[in-house]
Chains A and B, each alone.
Chain A
Amino acid sequence: SAVISQKPSRDICQRGTSLTIQCQVDSQVTMMFWYRQQPGQSLTLIATANQGSEATYESGFVIDKFPISRPNLTFSTLTVSNMSPEDSSIYLCSVEDLSPLEQYFGPGTRLTVL
Chain B
Amino acid sequence: GIQVEQSPPDLILQEGANSTLRCNFSDSVNNLQWFHQNPWGQLINLFYIPSGTKQNGRLSATTVATERYSLLYISSSQTTDSGVYFCAVERSGGSYIPTFGRGTSLIVHP
A residues with a Cβ closer than 8 A to B are 1, 31, 33, 37, 41-43, 45, 48, 90, 92, 96, 98, 100-105, 107-108, 110
7 contacts between A and B (CB under 8 A): A42-B86, A42-B102, A42-B103, A100-B48, A101-B30, A108-B41, A110-B41
Does residue B33 face the partner (Cβ distance < 8 Å to A)?
yes
The stretch from B13-21, B57-65, B73-81, B92-100 touching chain A is B92-100
Residues in B with CB closer than 8 Å to A100 are: 48
Q: Is the CB of B33 within 8 A of A103?
A: yes
Distance (whole angstroms) from the CB of A9 to the closest CB of chain B: 10
CA distance A110 to B102 in the complex (A): 20
Given A42-B86, A42-B103, A43-B86, CB of A103 within 8 Å of CB of B41: no
CA distance A30 to B80 in the complex (A): 33
Does residue B3 face the partner (Cβ distance < 8 Å to A)?
no
B residues with a Cβ closer than 8 A to A are 30-31, 33, 35, 41-43, 45, 48, 50, 86, 88, 90, 96-98, 100-103
**Chain A: interface secondary structure?**
strand
CA distance A76 to B97 in the complex (A): 18
Given A42-B86, A42-B102, A43-B86, CB of A107 within 8 Å of CB of B31: no
A-B interface contact total, Cβ < 8 Å? 47
CA distance A98 to B96 in the complex (A): 9
Q: Is the CB of A45 within 8 A of B86?
A: no
Q: Is the CB of A45 within 8 A of B97?
A: yes
- Residue among A31, A104, A105 having the largest count of chain B Cβ atoms under 10 Å: A105
CA distance A92 to B100 in the complex (A): 14
List 8 tightest A-B contacts by C-beta distance, closest first.
A105-B43, A101-B31, A43-B100, A102-B48, A42-B102, A42-B100, A108-B41, A100-B48
Give B33's nearest chain A residue, CB to CB. Answer: A103
Partner of A103, one of B50, B98, B102, B103: B98
Residues in A with CB closer than 8 Å to B98 are: 33, 45, 96, 103
Q: Is the CB of A42 within 8 A of B101?
A: yes
CA distance A101 to B29 in the complex (A): 12
